Amino acid sequence: MSQHQPRPLSRKKIYLSGPIMDESLNEATTWRERAKEHLSDSFILLDPMRRDFQDREFDSANEIVEFDLQDVRDADLLLVNYNRASIGTSMEVFYASHVQGKFIVAFSPIPFKECSPWMVRFCTKILPSFDEAIAYIRTNFIQRHID
């Protein structure tokens, strides 16, 4: 007779997508730090702000995009700060959803009827607050497996 023992959990990876360009350093980092506080016990968080690109050189722009796309490929799902229109965020969401088939959880203060149809189409779930997005992820993506 075999005993049922919990298998070690493999932690899912979450990419933290949201505006960076034309955003203050504080605005770009604060919500990401909060996400780490709330999720790092159960998930691996991929934060694009961990890379320090200060210049606006061509090579750096290419590197930024390639590193971000690699993070999207490595992630199991995305947590998206959709607080305003952002070209980079929109492209990450499209790539993750349409090309990679990833699950996208966004939070946004923008009323649903005012959201971009593209974001509505390619975000799996858009919630009105950061806290609701965190609760949704914790409820739906933390799994306990028993052999």
Is the pLDDT at 129 greater than 60? The verdict is: yes
- The answer to whether position 8 is within a domain reads no
Concatenated DSSP letters for 50-81? GS---S--HHHHHHHHHHHHHHHHH-SEEEEE
- The answer to whether position 71 is within a domain reads yes
- The answer to whether position 7 is within a domain reads no
Q: N- to C-terminal Cα distance for the chain? A: 13
- The answer to whether position 134 is within a domain reads yes
- The answer to whether position 2 is within a domain reads no
What is the C-alpha to C-alpha distance for residues 63 and 44, in angstroms, rounded to an integer?
A: 22
Which CATH number belongs to the domain containing residue 91 in this structure? 3.40.50.450
* pLDDT digit string, tens, across residues 5-64: 554 567 899 999 999 988 888 999 999 999 999 999 999 999 999 987 665 555 688 888
Q: Give the predicted TM-score (pTM) of the model.
A: 0.87
What is the domain range of residue 103?
13-141
- The answer to whether position 3 is within a domain reads no
Q: What contacts 101, CB < 8 A, 6 or more positions away?
A: none
Q: What contacts 22, CB < 8 A, 6 or more positions away?
A: none
* pLDDT digit string, tens, across residues 95-105: 999 999 999 99
142 pLDDT band, cuts 50/70/90, is confident
Query: What's the total number of domains in the chain?
Result: 1
- The answer to whether position 5 is within a domain reads no
- The answer to whether position 1 is within a domain reads no
